[in-house]
Amino acid sequence: MRLVISLLAVTFLALILLAACNSQEQTPVKTTNPQPKSTPAQPPPGDNARRITPAELKTALASNSAIIVDVRGEAAYNAAHIKGSRQIPYADIVAHVDELPRDKTIATYCS
């Protein structure tokens, strides 16, 4: 009987500790009328890749200052892709880095 009570007490304390750990998390506040952001979203921590909008990419492509690289597999690329994009699977980017221009913006996408 003591074993059962002890196990229940330990389980109860573990649940309290887990609840206390999760109580520090903050949920985002939802607004009813969000204002559009004038700056692009910041990259996630540890990711220093610059994000561009589709409009910025269109302008860069028109001025020949960017290229598009589709990093999906060959089957997905053959099914559908952005016109003019190059297909280099994500796992093979390092092997093909010498083929990419250094003087242009390289826009990658995967879906």
The number of distinct structural domains making up the chain is 1
| Full-model pTM | 0.56
Would you say residue 81 lies in a domain?
yes
Task: Provide the CATH number for the domain around residue 103.
Answer: 3.40.250.10
Phi, psi of 86 (to 5 degrees): -100, 145
**Quick one: CA dihedral 18, 21, 24, 27, positive or negative?**
negative
Would you say residue 70 lies in a domain?
yes
Distance from C-alpha of 60 to C-alpha of 57, rounded to nearest angstrom: 5
Q: What is the pLDDT of residues 23-71, one digit of tens each?
A: 444 555 555 555 555 555 555 556 778 888 999 999 999 999 999 999 9
Would you say residue 75 lies in a domain?
yes
Would you say residue 4 lies in a domain?
no
Would you say residue 104 lies in a domain?
yes
Rg (CA), the chain: 24
Phi, psi of 105 (to 5 degrees): -70, 130
Distance from C-alpha of 21 to C-alpha of 19, rounded to nearest angstrom: 5
Would you say residue 26 lies in a domain?
no
Distance from C-alpha of 35 to C-alpha of 39, rounded to nearest angstrom: 12
Would you say residue 21 lies in a domain?
no
Q: What is the pLDDT of residues 68-92, one digit of tens each?
A: 999 999 999 999 999 999 999 989 9
Domain of 101 in residue numbering reads as 54-109
